[in-house]
Structure 1
């Protein structure tokens, strides 16, 4: 797994916060909120890289995640300023227990200002190029071990990572062809919300 992903995923697990979204600006004259077309970044870094303007917890509609079987009411937000890059993360759980097969999935969606080429350089040994709704990306099978699948999509500021862990119902790993099962449909349903 790439260096930034290890730190970013650790931050999702350890530094969960409940920040309010910053996509709406208050209008003084009316007192009503108006939605801007580009989110003001919650956090920035000092790298000179583009600001991360897509926040997975606030810019992916909850009904999309609910339709995919994830409990959007229990999503967890994490801020990850890294100095030389930034990731905004959101963690979801899907507990669709199948006895003897799986206990469900854990999904982290990370939006960061590293490039697709940098991601390929880190995980090229497990990556293959993909296109999702005319958007360039990568599919990484097992980037940090068994039962893991990651889709990476290119954006105007960098990348969005969809990192899913398959929770098996045994000590043995799931069959490798199951690690990414259903990810094509999930990622395609979210792609339309990503900035180009």
Structure 2
């Protein structure tokens, strides 16, 4: 998550709403007609960069039961808004559920939706990135952009990208083999990809 993430995570440290409880109520368009009109959420944050509005909110559009089943503590997810001037990110941080030391590792996950393009991401992190597809969607796999034990999947959307950045907290001394940094993350990302809706 080197590129946008370093600047964005710096902002996130300040901007994270440590919502150790339920998500804030989303704003909805309350216009009604006789035929039930679909509700539309107003993006949590917009910018004046001319880039598209971010229509996927990681904290609100990834169902808690799905995240809990995947091993993340959805009850204590943390929201972050990162307006960076010429682009924006909405982020959600999930801690992995408690694991058994020496037996099972814990993974923390940061999901970021941003209105930068996949090409921009590739230009920033090309030395770490491999071009792939997830369920037919153009994507990147980035390994170790910020150091050891880190894996990121970046999926293209109609507003920009969604990043799934996972950090493996090892439960033993010594290094974790690089081929384990992304273990299982591809299956998780493929499972939630249809939720991006964009």
TM-score scaled by structure 2? 0.88
Q: Mark the runs of 5 or more structure 1 residues left unpaired by the alignment.
A: none
Q: How many residues are treated as equivalent by the alignment?
A: 193
3-state secondary structure, aligned to 1:97: coil
Would you identify which runs of 4 or more consecutive aligned residues in structure 1 move more than 6 Å? none
Residue in 1 aligned with 2:165?
163
Deviations 1:117-140 (A, max 9, x none): 000001111110111111110000
Higher strand proportion: 1
Please list every run of 5 or more consecutive structure 2 residues that lacks an aligned counterpart in the other structure: none
Match of 2:49 among 38, 47, 50: 47
Q: Distance in 2 between matches of 1:56 and 1:40?
A: 14
C-alpha separation between the residues in 2 aligned to 1:64 and 1:140?
24
Task: Name the residue aligned to 1:16.
Answer: 16
Which residue number in structure 1 is paired with residue 195 of structure 2?
Answer: 193
1:142 matched residue in structure 2: 144
Deviation at 1:27, TM superposition (A): 4.8
Work out whether residues 72 and 108 of structure 2, in 8 Å CA contact, stay in contact via their aligned partners in 1.
Answer: no
* CA 156–28 in structure 1, closer or farther in 2 if over 3 Å, else same: closer
After superposing the two structures, state which structure 1 stretch, 144-153 or 166-175, moved more: 166-175
Deviates more, 1:16-25 or 1:50-59: 16-25
